[in-house]
Amino acid sequence: MSTFQAPKGTYDLIPPRSAVFLAVRDAISAQARSAGYGYVETPGFEDVNLFARGVGESTDIVTKEMYTLTTKGGDQLALRPEGTASVLRAALQANLHKQGNLPVKLWYSGSYYRYERAQAGRYRHFSQVGAEAIGAEDPALDAELIILADQAYRSLGLRQYRILLNSLGDKECRPVYREALQTFLRGLDLDEETLRRAEINPLRVLDDKRPDVRKQLVDAPLLRDYLCDACKAYHEEVRALITAAGVVFEDDLKLVRGLDYYTRTTFEFVHDGLGAQSAVGGGGRYDGLSEMIGGPALPSVGWALGVDRTVLALEAEGVELDLPAATSVFAVAIGEEARRLLFGKVTELRRAGIATDFSFGGKGLKGSMKDANRSGARIALVAGERDLAEGVIQVKDMESGEQRPVAPDALLDAVRAILG
């Protein structure tokens, strides 16, 4: 072991588990790509005010969890705690919204940082794949995103997850509700900090997990009873579209989410095998965010799915992904001359697009064959002095156990024939 360890709340992705992470990222992004979302990549850090304004001054993410730094030049930056504000900032900066084809649909994948209390499933460095549809108010877009996320989890073989759905209203009806909720909260027996939170952002109090607070919230007014007609109709249309797609969801009238930019549709994917950190993904509509960060009105909707928690969910359900072996061919050479010949063949096979590995380090036949087995390769190539004298390379099909000598010139065809 070295003197150093990965920082608290972080961990390293190493083989073979790391292959599952890649497969999860691929499965999620495949859904976004299949629906016309283009890839976007933004910096790992941004102006701290982008998140303060976008995610919200009163959220835990901004007040407690951001990794902030001042550069030598005096700029105030933050490691990105989430992707939506950055992606919208990038789209505005590149004027993507002015190029005539709204919505602008973008997907991304990367690392995010939150200084959270570290525990199982909750890390300070974690991975998300996200999708954002910018610049259109259309319930079919909200439905599309929910259906795509559902399909991503399904394609991975997950079954024990649930979709929670709610509407948070818009700038017409939410303020009325906010007042009603505030009046209700003022009458409760709450600590100082919670009372302060009730004044700044009363909806966040609904998300309080403490039992004594939850008990008092039972009779809290519900946003559903305050939704304006436009929000009600919009929400009904989203519900109808995802129902028609056969996606099962639950109405969760207290779902508020941890970021302030949401309006109307909000949803969360929760997995029942994960304990306290059960949200494997979440998202919703954020019609006001663009204006909050200095842009024009651009109603938008999106989600981010947590790669770490999705992998934990797969493990909790005992789902084994059908991962292709990283290596198709493993070459075992005994003796200097054979090494030179086979190393050349390895390069040739790789150039032909066949994933091939080689017995490095001058091991004997037994040790090298062990490596060949461990690699999961379908084919082992073996050459020693006697093979060279006979002008052949032994080609062993590791599945059937069958082995036959092949002339070096005919090797590529022989390998292709076995791999199909």
Query: Residue 263 or 356: which CB sits closer to ligand HAM?
Result: 263
Within 10 Å of residue 98's Cβ, how many Cβ atoms?
11
Query: Residue 135 or 306: which CB sits closer to ligand HAM?
Result: 306
Is there a contact between 247 and 161 (Cβ–Cβ < 8 Å)?
A: no
* Residue 149 CB, nearest approach to ligand HAM (Å): 10
113 is in an annotated binding site: no
CA 40 to chain centre: 14
Query: Residue 165 or 185: which CB sits closer to ligand HAM?
Result: 165
The β-bridge relationship of strands 161-167 and 263-271 is antiparallel
Query: Residue 164 or 227: which CB sits closer to ligand HAM?
Result: 164
* Residue 271 CB, nearest approach to ligand HAM (Å): 9
Q: Amino acid letter at 90?
A: A
183 is in an annotated binding site: no
Is there a contact between 284 and 264 (Cβ–Cβ < 8 Å)?
A: yes
68 is in an annotated binding site: no
Tell me which residue of 199, 204, 170 sits closest to 182, measured CA to CA.
Answer: 199
* Residue 373 CB, nearest approach to ligand HAM (Å): 35
Query: Residue 259 or 369: which CB sits closer to ligand HAM?
Result: 259
Is there a contact between 108 and 87 (Cβ–Cβ < 8 Å)?
A: yes
Query: Residue 146 or 198: which CB sits closer to ligand HAM?
Result: 146
- Chain residues binding ligand HAM by CB under 6 A are 82-84, 114, 116, 122-123, 126, 128, 130, 132, 258-259, 279-284, 286, 302-304, 306, 308-309
* Residue 121 CB, nearest approach to ligand HAM (Å): 6
The β-bridge relationship of strands 356-358 and 329-333 is parallel
Examine residue 16 and say whether the peptide bond preceding it is cis (omega within 30 degrees of 0). yes
Q: Which residue is nearest to ligand HAM (CB)?
A: 306
Query: Residue 280 or 341: which CB sits closer to ligand HAM?
Result: 280
Within 10 Å of residue 286's Cβ, how many Cβ atoms?
27
The β-bridge relationship of strands 104-113 and 38-39 is parallel
Query: Residue 68 or 182: which CB sits closer to ligand HAM?
Result: 68
Helix segments in 158-287, DSSP class H: 174-186, 192-200, 202-205, 211-216, 229-244
Is there a contact between 165 and 322 (Cβ–Cβ < 8 Å)?
A: no
CA 52 – CA 60 distance, rounded (Å) = 11
* Residue 157 CB, nearest approach to ligand HAM (Å): 18
Kindly state the tokens that stand for 192.
Answer: 């100082």
317 is in an annotated binding site: no
Q: Which residue has the tokens 């559903």?
A: 224
Is there a contact between 381 and 411 (Cβ–Cβ < 8 Å)?
A: yes
114 is in an annotated binding site: yes
* Residue 393 CB, nearest approach to ligand HAM (Å): 48
115 is in an annotated binding site: no
* Residue 118 CB, nearest approach to ligand HAM (Å): 8
288 is in an annotated binding site: no
CA 231 – CA 167 distance, rounded (Å) = 8
- The answer for residues whose C-beta is within 8 angstroms of residue 230's C-beta and 6 or more apart is 170, 172
What is the DSSP-derived secondary structure letter of residue 206?
A: T
* Residue 158 CB, nearest approach to ligand HAM (Å): 13
Q: Which residue has the tokens 């550069």?
A: 71
42 is in an annotated binding site: no
* Residue 126 CB, nearest approach to ligand HAM (Å): 4
Query: Residue 202 or 283: which CB sits closer to ligand HAM?
Result: 283
Is there a contact between 304 and 130 (Cβ–Cβ < 8 Å)?
A: yes
- The answer for residues whose C-beta is within 8 angstroms of residue 336's C-beta and 6 or more apart is none
Is there a contact between 281 and 305 (Cβ–Cβ < 8 Å)?
A: yes
234 is in an annotated binding site: no
Residues marked as binding for L-histidine? 82-84, 114, 128, 132, 257, 261-262
Residue ranges for the binding site?
Answer: 82-84, 114, 128, 132, 257, 261-262
